[in-house]
Amino acid sequence: MLKTVKKSQALKTTDCAITYRAGKNDIFGTCPKICPLNPNETVSTEQVDWDYLDAVLDATVQGGRSWTYSHFEFEKITFKQNKRFHLNFLYRIRDSKQHTTVNRSTDNVNDAVAVHNKGYPTTVTLSDKNVRKHFVHKKVKFVRCPSEYNKKVGCINCDLCARKDRNFVIVFYAHGSQKKLVGDEEQGGCYGTFGRVRLQWEHTRKNVSKSLSDKDILKQFVQDLPYGTILRHHIVGDIGKEKKSSVQNKII
C-alpha cells in the first residue's frame, strides 16, 4: 500500500514530496527478508515487485530530483538468473541520470565497499558507537549524511542521495528507539518500528485503495507535482512484492 504526501512537514524532509509503502497484512510486507534492520523477517518478502519498481524509476519531476533506498541485492543478480533485470532495469537503476536514484542500502563497511565497487549508488547504516564525519575504508571514501550534524541541511537542499555517479558511500548512523540493535547480531533496528514513523506506516497499511495499485497511485501522484519537486520515495518500506502465501519466492 502506498501513502503519498505532497509537502512533508518532518524535520529532515521538510517541503519534499514523500511516500510511505507498506504491505496489506504487515508494515514490513514490502521489505526484504534479508534486511538485518527488519525485526520480523517472517512477514517480509524475497521478491522484487518489478512492475512497481518500473514506476518508481520513472517517477521523477522535471527540474527536480528523486531518490529512494533498497535492501534488495541487485548486484547479485546475474543475466542467467534474471534477463529482464539486466535488459530493462540495470541501466536505469545504476547509471541513468534521467531516472530515480535507487540507493543500495548496506549494513557494514565491507559490504558497502563491495556494492560501491560494482557501480551502484551505495549507502550504509552503522552503529552510533563510533561516529565519524568522514573516513576511508579499503580506498573508498565514506561521507556522513550532513543533515545528521548540521541543522541547516535537509533533503530539500542536499542532493547527495540523488547522485548516481558519486565516488563515495553515504553513511547514516543509527537513530530511533531501536538504534542499539544496529550492528548487533539481534535482528532489528529499523527506525520505523516505533514512534511517529510507525504511526504513519500503520496508517499507510490500513488505508487500502480498492481501485488503484501502488504503481497507479504513484504515477498519478507524480503527475500532479509541480515543476522542480524534490521527491523521496519510501520514508519506510521497500520495492518488494508482498507474499500471498507461505510459499517463498526468490528475488530472481
Average pLDDT, the chain: 91
d(CA 170, CA 120): 12
Q: How confident is the model at residue 247 (pLDDT cuts 50, 70, 90)?
A: very low
State pLDDT tens for residues 55-93.
999 999 999 999 999 999 999 999 999 999 999 999 999
Residue 38 has pLDDT above 50, yes or no: yes
Q: Confirm if 58 and 93 have CB atoms less than 8 A apart.
A: no
Q: How confident is the model at residue 244 (pLDDT cuts 50, 70, 90)?
A: confident
Residue 8 has pLDDT above 50, yes or no: yes
Per-residue pLDDT at 41: 85
Per-residue pLDDT at 249: 44
Per-residue pLDDT at 192: 86
Per-residue pLDDT at 207: 81
State pLDDT tens for residues 138-168.
999 999 999 999 999 999 999 999 999 999 9
- Average pLDDT on 83-109 reads 96
Question: Whose CA is closest to 232, among 159, 168, 180, 173?
Answer: 159
- Please count the other Cβ atoms lying within 10 Å of the Cβ belonging to residue 112: 25
Per-residue pLDDT at 143: 98
Q: Which percentage of the chain shows pLDDT scores above 90?
A: 76
Q: Which helix (H) or strand (E) holds 36?
A: none
Answer positive or negative: Cα dihedral of 237, 154, 120, 102.
Answer: positive
Is this prediction's pTM over 0.85? Answer: yes
Q: Which residues contact 246 (CB under 8 A, 6 or more apart)?
A: none
Query: What is the bridge-based pairing of β-strands 2-5 and 17-21?
Result: antiparallel
Q: How confident is the model at residue 177 (pLDDT cuts 50, 70, 90)?
A: low
Q: If 0-12 CB within 10 Å is exposed, 13-18 middle and 19+ buried, where does residue 119 land? A: middle
d(CA 191, CA 197): 8
